[in-house]
Structure 1
Amino acid sequence: MTKRIIVGVTGASGSIYALTLIKVLALMEWQVELVMTSTGEKVLTFETGADRQSFPDNVHIHENTNLFSSLASGSFRTHGMVVIPCSMNTLGLMATGTGDHLLARAAQVTLKERRPLVVVPREMPYNIIHLENMLRLARAGATIMPASPGFYHHPQEIQDLVNHVVGRVLDQFGVDHTLFERWSGV
């Protein structure tokens, strides 16, 4: 099977996580199937300066309004999906199995096909609705990974913190990387 992963980008702040993940996967010659909410695309450009032309050829952008996209079908094989950053609105849509846009549908397909779904919520604090939606997704098989970097690797700059979160996401898919120094004990 082609090394293929779906990356969903929503309107939560933290687009640097998505951009870093996409760049790392593209450099590793993964086919990235990218779907962005309209607000996600705006936040990505606002926070990072990246736009649709910023991505390499192995990043295929799917329109969030296109429910005829290959991502809407379980017969389209991928290694899974990550939603990074994930807004509470999109998290709610995924948790309830609702929504008339591709990102939520692709997440539903990922779960029904028993493929890894990693959700990286970035907003805080969480209210009880957010927590219950995260629990519902976790019970359905998703991995919830808040954007909470570790500090044991002594980060020197923001990109070090970003790399830690992105590296931990890659770990969920079994993708080898050198984005941070792993803990080896003291």
Structure 2
Amino acid sequence: MHVIAGCNIMYNQGLTFPPVYSYLYEMQPLVTYTMVGFKYIFPFLTCEQIYCLLSAICGALFIVESVNFVYRITSFRKIYILLSLFLIPESFAISMYPNSAIFAAVFFVCALNRLLDEKFYVAMVLMVIAPLYRIDILIVYPVVFFIFLFQRKSVKESITRSVFLAVLILLFVTIGYWGLRANPLTALTGYNGMNETHSFASQV
């Protein structure tokens, strides 16, 4: 509801960098501008409807891309892969409410499939966009190294490609956050504060 409120304010008052009001903007800046952009295109829809609709579309794409990715690296039956998605906690979170995590996740899984297609630079662009929707998606980026190994590239070549990709991604993501006037490092201190205040670590 905080995300939606921030989008409504920006739509009514005009674009600003950063927004006048938002929710965790420092770690997911592109979410607000995506919602407002679609609101300008479809003014007859509310920001809430847009957020829910885009989350649902991304959720469906995430399922398709995830099943295809796992099938390509394992050859498991697709029905088993589909059923296994219900074991992922995020599947339930996404089904309950619109969540910025699904925007980042679908871009990243699409990037993995493009890597398997040997479309290196297309994958890189997708992997630059994903953290602008949610910075913590970077946690899973090291899996790219193993994708290169899976493609039967040598360890040296896999390391070289991974480092090259990592440097470019960090460069462009940094530029993106700077351009959107967001500082993801403040999100880290915010999480540390939550851990100390609410004992999140012990609860988990």
Tell me if TM exceeds 0.5.
no
- Bigger Rg over Cα: 2
Write 1 or 2 for the structure with the bigger share of strand: 1
TM-score normalised to the size of structure 1? 0.31
Structure with higher helix content = 2
